[in-house]
Amino acid sequence: MSALLRSPSRLFRLVATAEAVTWTALLIGMFLKYVTETTDLAVSIFGMLHGIVFITYCVTTVAIAVDQRWSFGRRLGGLASSIPPFLTLWFERYAERHDLLVPAWRLTSEAPARPLERPLAWLLRNPIGGLGVGVASVAVLTVVALVAGPPVG
């Protein structure tokens, strides 16, 4: 498994940054569509890309939160940080400063003790299957989001 996937802190930093970058691209696309009224192509492209990265961030946050036994409030904070633009970058720094992110997955060497830890431990100990499940989870959640349609507002 690559060093990126072996390290929750590296993975979280990458996904949090990607979420903020795709937010930036989407905001630029929205500017082009609604302010300059030049094109809506960027919203279509970056909206889909941001949606996929948003879901990836949420799946990654849940996996790390379970592995590192974050409190419910910190789990909720991590997930909520994906909604306002760029807050994932702040939350990643917050998590790093408060030792919520560590260099190695706890459940690769420690026995799972809680119900959600059991499947996560299996996924982490079987990296190819775990990666496949992660990608499949993001794909299924993306399809569900597409079927549900865009946010109303």
- Res 64: pLDDT: 97
Q: Is the pLDDT of residue 4 over 70?
A: no
CB 57 within 8 A of CB 15: yes
Give 63's pLDDT tier (boundaries 50, 70, 90). very high
CA angle 58, 12, 20 (to 5 degrees): 70
Q: Is the pLDDT of residue 122 over 60?
A: yes
Alpha carbon distance 26, 48 (integer Å): 9
Q: Is the pLDDT of residue 1 over 70?
A: no
Q: Is the pLDDT of residue 29 over 60?
A: yes
Give 3's pLDDT tier (boundaries 50, 70, 90). low
- Res 14: pLDDT: 97
Domain ranges within the chain, ordered by starting residue: 3-104+113-144
